[in-house]
A and B are shown apart, each in its own frame.
Chain A
């Protein structure tokens, strides 16, 4: 179901001497089945933005529509919205609190007052989606690695059966293999289960590989919105707002400047490798 933001503004500290305009006239359409990368410098408004998408923060002005319906309209159930738009916070493993993995994942659906069988069915499905089989069910979260804990936390959100999954820096603090595990899992959720994904990340390299659309926030506004290739072409402007392009984009630009006849809109190592090999072969 699409999420639409119309002229959304959010100001906090309005009654103080230093009000902060955290979001300023944000207009966005998030369509079904998209894989969106959301980036922005710390304080750019990206965390504020994602909390608007499932009604955790109410805009100061403007409208937010889920499937065409105003989420602050009369009689609209925000509770239901929150199970449709699942939000995985930063360091979600800090929110694990049950004694074993399975109980933790059951907690969300149990709160929806579903029958026990349905709760357990959902938990089992959610754990399967993040690649944790029955051998993990009875383990204490303390016995898991950082990446595994995080997958349990994501399963907890998946058990609510959302249609949109928002992940706030899901790879922070993980090593490269843990990072690839989580992002691979997210990609499978997108490709095989059809989830709409919004991935907040500081890693341009990861966003270049995984996202199909990039939204760049700066000072509470949407600065860029387009395909990764289009957005990373603005790398000088990205640098001005504390961001960058993937390292490989800088490499192809440097090659071009040195007279190597390569296209400069390449954003992944694989693309660059193929382009270089082709040029060397043609010589």
Chain B
């Protein structure tokens, strides 16, 4: 028995994030404050994420994807099953600091996560709280602002920034804690197209150049075409998983789960349905153009 436990632990250590049969339930109360029904927001999720990957979790509002995200840095603890972050069980008190330092979190609303009056102070807040020596804090602030392309704004007031810029400052704040993994919970939902592009390009660069694992929770399909792996959630379960191409080939299923596909994929799918011979899951304009020109 002991060897099995040891083996399992070392197995989970290879993954940056792993969940096994994760369940999260919460109690609802009626008007009088008496407990009524129990809602199961996450229902038996098994997830494995390799260090350095770009992972996307898709799902409509209420599918459980944000609840899942909050488990990845112990903001919520499982009602059943286990979450390991770099091999550490998030439910154990003594792992809390390590877990939160390994997996940093960026939220949806850019106005809710900035606390300081000056950009550089905001970015330095995390490492300061961790007791990092002052010199090292400034170095991390420099590096993090550079990594998100916000160095020019370091002495600015955060409330004068655009939504996309605020989100990049929030990402820099997480980067300053030197996480191995960043979990972004719908970071672009409140941004305009420019801001959305800024944030997505920033996290892509962090993943490619700094080797940070990125877990992006979103319902914008255009944002996930470059992901290594896509998970689709519905009613608290993972209902689809695969590469973007595999997922986007299943247009009808995606629509059933209340999701959309990029217009290029939709056009290709519609043409396929009308009898045009095209490969499944077209993600890029160039690809569709090439295939259509070949048919002429």
Contacts and interface: CB of A to CB of B under 8 A. Distances in A.
Contacts of A242: 192-194
Contacts of B258: 175-177
A250 B194 CA distance: 17
A243 B163 CA distance: 16
Given A254-B285, A280-B296, A248 B263 contact: yes
Interface in A200-253: 202, 205, 242-244, 246-248, 250-251
B14 interface: no
Interface stretch (A7-15, A24-32, A113-121, A268-276): A268-276
Nearest to B164: A42
Contacts of B219: 175-176
A54 B37 CA distance: 45
A146 interface: yes
B260 interface: yes
B296 A269 contact: no
Contacts of B276: 276-277, 280
A18 to B, nearest CB: 11
B207 to A, nearest CB: 24
Contacts of A254: 285-286, 289
Contact of B162 (A42, A205, A244): A42
Interface string A82-98: 00000000000000000
Interface residues of A, number: 37
B118 to A, nearest CB: 19
Given A202-B193, A248-B267, A251-B264, A42 B289 contact: no
Nearest to B288: A251
Given A248-B267, A277-B271, A177 B194 contact: no
A62 to B, nearest CB: 27
B61 interface: yes
A183 interface: no
B96 interface: no
A243 B295 CA distance: 33
B264 A247 contact: yes
A259 interface: yes
A42 B163 contact: yes
Interface string B54-78: 0000001110000000000000000
A217 to B, nearest CB: 13
A172 interface: yes
B162 A251 contact: no
A260 B290 CA distance: 10
A41 B163 CA distance: 12
Contacts of A42: 162-163, 192, 194-195
Contacts of A258: 289-290, 293
Interface string B249-271: 00000000011101110110011
A43 B258 CA distance: 32
Nearest to B28: A143
Interface in B177-202: 186, 189-190, 192-195
B155 to A, nearest CB: 17
B274 interface: yes
Given A42-B195, A283-B296, A273 B270 contact: yes
B289 A202 contact: no
A255 interface: yes
B274 A273 contact: yes
Contacts of B62: 145-146
A247 B286 contact: no
Contacts of A246: 263
A172 B190 contact: yes
A277 B264 CA distance: 15
Interface in A167-219: 172-178, 202, 205
Given A42-B162, A260-B289, A260-B292, 6 more contacts: A173-B189, A177-B258, A251-B288, A258-B293, A269-B270, A277-B276
By Cβ-Cβ distance, the 7 closest A-B pairs, closest first, are A175-B60, A247-B263, A176-B260, A177-B258, A175-B61, A273-B270, A248-B263
Interface of A: 41-43, 145-147, 172-178, 202, 205, 242-244, 246-248, 250-251, 254-255, 258-260, 269-270, 272-273, 276-277, 279-280, 283
